[in-house]
Chain A
C-alpha cells in the first residue's frame, strides 16, 4: 500500500484560523529552537526566558530593542511594497549598506562646510538614492531580460558588502583611525540625537513610522499602489489594464531600495558615526526584515509591530550569546527557524492537506 499527500487550495479560511495558524507556527518554531538548545545541553525554557528578559525584561533591553527595531521597521515597510508586487527583493542588506556608504560619504565631504540640517537632508537623499539604485538594477534586469531577481538581488548583497569592506580598508580609511577598518567619524553636528540614556535615534524612528504610514496609504489608496497589487496578483491582467510592467517594477524596487538605504543612513548617523565592516554596520537587518514583512502580513502598519518583536529577538539573541556562551550565528538560526515555520503555517492555512492511500 502506498501513501501520498493530496493538496487542495482552501481560500475560505476565517480570521480566527489565520491568527491560530500564526500562533501555532510561532509555538512550533520555538519548540524546534528549544530542541536545538537541548542538544547544546541548555534548558530551552531558560534560554527562551533569557531571550525575552534580555530584550523586553529591563529598561536597557527595551531601549536596545527599540534601537534595533528602527532599521527593521524601515526596511520591512519597503519590502511590503515589492512583495505585494511579487518582486522578490532579498537584497535589502546590500541596499542598506550602500545607503550607509552614501550617507557617510556625504557627511565627510560637506559635513564641515555646510549647515547641519542641509547636510542631514543631503545624507538622507543620497542614502535613499543609492539604496534605490541598488534595487533598480536587478529590477531592470528582471523586467527587461527576465533575469530572476532572487538570484540577482542576493548577489548584489555580496557586491555591496565587498565594496564597503574595500572602501573602509582602502580609499576611505580614516586618517585618525590607525589600524582599524573605519572611515573618519562624521562631524558631531550631523550626528542624530538620542533619547536620554539610550541609543534610540528618535529622528529615524519617527521617520520610519511616518514612512510606514505613508506606504500603507500608498498601497491601499493610490493609483500606484493599486497598480502594484494588480501586477503582483495577475501580470496578464495588469498588461490588459494598461499597466506598464517595467515602470511599475522599477518604481516599486526603488521604493524598497530607498527604504533600506534610509535604514543605512540611520545606522551611520545614529549609531556608528563612521562606515566600517559590513557585519558591524548591519547585523543582518536586511534579511531579518524579510521575516518582519512576512510576519506583518505585508501590511506596513503591522510591520511596525513585527519589527519591534524581531528586534527583541535580535537583542535577546545577543544576550544569550554572552550569558550562555553560544555562537554568534545563534540568532540567525533562531530567525531562520521562525521564518520557515511562518511559511509552513501560511501554507497549511491556505491549503488543505490529507494523507491518502493509493489504490494499487
Chain B
C-alpha cells in the first residue's frame, strides 16, 4: 500500500501511509485507538476507497472496489466486530460467504471441506451449531474457516485476541504459524505488545493516521514500541494501596440461573462485594460469567437465590430500577448492548442515564446538559472523535469502549459492574481505565469486574472468584495465590482454599 490517504468529513484517518507485506510473513500493525488501523485494513479489503494512494499486489497496481474483488485477489479479513448471522448455523454462515458452493447439495460439499480444514489446522467446530450458541473464540474460528475457504493468501486479523481466553489465543497463534509455514501472509492488529513480539516478524506502527515506524521485530522491544505509539513511556503497573474492606455493597446468595439454551449456567453462586474493594471473576468464557452479570444487572431473570444491594433485594428487578439504586454496567458485547450505532455520540453518552437528573425533567431531555456531559466524557477519557455530533458508529472500536466505560464510571456509581473493561484499548487507555477503577476503590466504591486477562485481575482485584461450569471453584486472594493455581481452578480443579 502506497501513500494511502483517507479522510472522513475532513479529518484524516489515514495520511500518506505506506505498508507492505511479503509472502509467508506475519506483520504486526500497531497504533493507539483511533490511529487508523481498521480504516487502513478496510481500504485493503475494499470496504472503503482511499482518497488517494495505490494498492499493489505482487507488484501490480490494483483497484479494489469491494470485498469480493479483494477475495478474488486472495485477501481475507476477520473484522474487529464479528459479522456472522446469529440465527444461522456455522455451516450456513460459511456457505453464505462462499460463492463457489455447488447449487445442489451444498451442505455435503461444505461439510466435507470444513472437515479437511479442521483437521489440517486443528480448528474444531461443530458445523451444526447456531452462531448465538458459540463463544467469542468459537465464532472467531468460524471467521477463520471462512477465510481459509477462500484460500486467502493474505489474512487480515483486526484485534483477534481481544475477546479470546489465553488458551484460545495460544490456539490462534498456532494456526497463524501453520498458515505462515504454508506461505500465507498475515496482518495482525493487536494492542497486546507481547503477542506482537512473539508472533510477528515485522511491525508497522501508526500514530494519528501516519506511519511512524516500520521495523523488523528483532530491532524493537515492547518499550520502544509503546514509545513509538504514544510518544512516551508506558509501563503497566498496578499501584494498589492496601485498604481495609468497607461495608457490604453487593451480596449474591445461592444464585441459580438458566441460560438461553435451557441449561443451568449459574449454579449456586454466592459472594459479596464491599466498599473499597474490587472483586474479580475469572474463568474461561462461557462458564456462566455472562449470565451471572446479566442477572445482577437485571437483564436476565434468576431461577432461585437472592441478590441484594446494601441489604435490600434487587433480584429480578428491572434494569432501570437496579440502575437507579446505583449499579452501572459495562456490558460484554459493546456494539450489541452498549451503544446505538446510528444515533449520535451525545445521544449515546446518556444511554440509560437519560431518564434521570440532570438530563431530563418529567418529559423533556435537556440536550444542552446531554451535550455537556458528552463533551465531559470525551475529554476526560480522551475519546478521539471528530465531534459529538457524529453517529456513534464512526468511532473506532477502542474509542467506543472508552466512551462506554467513561459513561458508566463517570458519575461515581456505588457499584460498577464491568465486563472486560479494557477490551480493545491501547496501552495508554488501558492504563488510564485501570487507574480510574483503582480510584473508585479508594473513594469507597465497589467494583465487580469480569475479565479473561488474569494479570489484570490479579493486579486490580482484592479478591478473585474463579468460575467453572457455573460454579465458583474458589474465591482467592490474588496477592497470596499463584497464577498457576488460579489457572487450575479455572479448569475445575479445586486445589486452593475455599472461602
Bound pair: A and B? yes
A contacts, CB < 8 Å to B: 4, 6, 8, 11-12, 221-227, 229-230, 233-234, 236-237, 239-244, 352, 354, 356, 358-360
The complex places the Cα of A92 from the Cα of B323 at a distance, in Å, of: 37
What chain A residues lie within 8 Å of B393 (beta carbons)?
11
B331 CB–A CB distance under 8 Å: yes
**Alpha-carbon distance A352/B65, docked complex (angstroms):** 10
Q: Which residue of B lies closest to A354 (CB)?
A: B66
B355 contacts across to A, CB distance below 8 A: 223, 242
Give every chain B residue within 8 A of A352 (Cβ-Cβ): 66
Residues of B bordering A, CB below 8 Å: 8, 47, 65-69, 72, 99-100, 298-299, 318-321, 323, 329, 331, 336-343, 347, 351-352, 354-355, 360, 363-365, 367, 391, 393
Q: Which residues of B contact A360 (CB under 8 A)?
A: 100
**A242 and B100 contacting across the interface, CB-CB below 8 Å:** no
Report A282 CB to chain B, min CB distance, Å. Answer: 33
Q: Is the CB of A236 within 8 A of B341?
A: no
Q: Which chain A residue has the least Cβ–Cβ distance from B370? A: A226
Contact of B365 among A4, A223, A233, A244 (CB under 8 A): A223
Which one, A11, A223, A230, A239, contacts B343 given CB within 8 A? A230
Which residue from chain A places its CB closest to the CB of B367 in the assembled complex? A221
Min Cβ gap B379→A in Å is 23
Instruction: Report which of A221, A237, A239 forms a contact with B364, defined as CB distance below 8 A.
Output: A221
- Chain B's closest residue to A360 (CB) is B100
* Interchain CB contact under 8 A, B338 and A233: no
Is B68 within 8 A of A240, CB to CB?
no
Contact of B8 among A12, A226, A227 (CB under 8 A): A12
Contacts of A237 in B (CB 8 A): 336-340, 351
Task: Compute how far the CA of A242 lies from the CA of B100 in the bound complex, rounded to whole angstroms.
Answer: 45
Residues of B close to A223: CB separation below 8 A: 354-355, 360, 363-365
Since A6-B68, A358-B99 are in contact, a sample of 9 more A-B pairs with Cβ atoms closer than 8 Å, ordered by chain A residue number, is A6-B67, A11-B391, A223-B355, A223-B363, A223-B365, A239-B299, A239-B337, A241-B352, A242-B320
Whether the Cβ atoms of B336 and A4 lie closer than 8 Å is: no
Q: Which of B319, B329, B360, B391 has most A Cβ within 10 Å?
A: B319
**Docked CA distance A236–B329 (Å):** 14
Q: Smallest CB-CB separation from A223: which chain B residue?
A: B360
Which residues of chain B have C-beta atoms less than 8 A from A233's C-beta? 340-343
A12 to B8, CA, bound (A): 8
Which residues from chain B contact A239 at a C-beta distance below 8 Å?
Answer: 299, 319, 337
Q: List residues of chain A with CB within 8 A of the CB of B352.
A: 240-242
Contact A229 B343 (CB under 8 A): yes
Chain B nearest Cβ from A324, distance in angstroms: 45
**What would 5 A/B residue contacts be, using CB atoms closer than 8 Å?**
A6-B68, A12-B8, A221-B367, A223-B363, A233-B343
Q: Which residue of B lies closest to A225 (CB)?
A: B365
- Given known A-B contacts A12-B8, A223-B355, A234 and B341 have beta carbons under 8 A apart: yes
B322 nearest in chain A by CB position: A242
**Which chain B residue lies CB-closest to A8?**
B66
Q: State in angstroms the CA–CA spacing of A116 and B72 once bound together.
A: 75
Query: How far is A113 from B33 in the complex, measured between Cα atoms in Å?
Result: 73
Alpha-carbon gap, A191 to B223, bound state (A): 83
Bound complex: CA of A360 vs CA of B101, how far in Å?
A: 10
Given A230-B351, A242-B318, A359-B72; A8-B67 close (CB under 8 Å): yes
Residues of A contacting B331 with CB < 8 Å?
240
Contact of B318 (CB < 8 Å), options: A8, A226, A244, A354: A244
CB distance from A60 to the nearest CB of B (A): 43
A53 to chain B, nearest CB (A): 41
Complex Cα gap A45–B272 (Å) = 78
Query: Hey, which chain A residues are within 8 Å of B339, CB to CB?
Result: 234, 237
Contacting pair B319 A240 (CB below 8 A) = yes
Q: What residues of A have a CB within 8 angstroms of the CB of B351 in the complex?
A: 230, 237, 240-241
CA distance A111 to B137 in the complex (A): 70
> A220 → chain B, closest Cβ, in Å?
9
The distance in angstroms between the C-alpha atoms of A45 and B391, with both chains bound, is 43
How far is it, in angstroms, between the C-alpha of A36 and the C-alpha of B63 when the chains are bound?
A: 41
Indicate which residue in A222, A234, A244, A359 contacts B340 across the interface (CB closer than 8 Å). A234
Q: Can you name the residue of chain B whose Cβ is closest to the Cβ of A242?
A: B320
B333 nearest in chain A by CB position:
A236
Cα–Cα, bound, A230→B69 (Å): 36
From the candidates A226, A236, A242, A356, name the one contacting B69 in the complex (CB within 8 A).
A356
Question: Do residues B337 and A236 form an inter-chain contact, with CB atoms below 8 A?
Answer: yes
Residue of A nearest to B69 (CB): A356
Contact of B354 among A221, A234, A241 (CB under 8 A): A241
The 5 closest A-B pairs by CB, nearest first: A242-B320, A241-B352, A242-B319, A6-B68, A240-B337
